Amino acid sequence: MDNSAFGSAPASEPSVARLIVAIMTTDSTGPDPARPPIEGWPDLLTVALGLSTVEVRELCRFLTGALAARACAGLFREIGRWAGMRGSPPDPLERGLRALGARCDCEALEVLARG
Ligand SMILES: [Zn+2]
């Protein structure tokens, strides 16, 4: 497969997915560490959500903190808050997350941390 369109990082660099997993595993609600990583997931995330890898990481951190302070409301409440802080509408991001199988903030965090 040709990955050049995604600008893949050299194999020696730690992948965003690994960094996110490192962040997530400090939290008891983190993903199952036994789950095998999905190849290319960070690239897919940035394309599906229209965010840079740095923004995906920021959103992941924000959601981790927000969901530690407030239980998930079963909505994209924190996603909307994060988009609002950046001055962008929540809809393209929410649509991307729904397309990836998330229906609320805690599922969005699972989607972001997969890979
Ligand atoms: Zn939830």
Q: What is the pLDDT of residues 39-81, one digit of tens each?
A: 888 888 999 999 999 999 999 999 999 999 999 999 999 999 9
C-alpha 105 – ligand 1 centre gap (Å): 5
Distance from residue 77's CA to the centre of ligand 1 (Å): 10
pTM above 0.75, yes or no: no
CA of 73 to the centre of ligand 1 (A): 6
Question: Rounded CA gap, 20 and 99, in Å?
Answer: 21
Domain ranges of the chain: 13-113
- Spacing, Cα 109 to ligand 1 middle (Å): 9
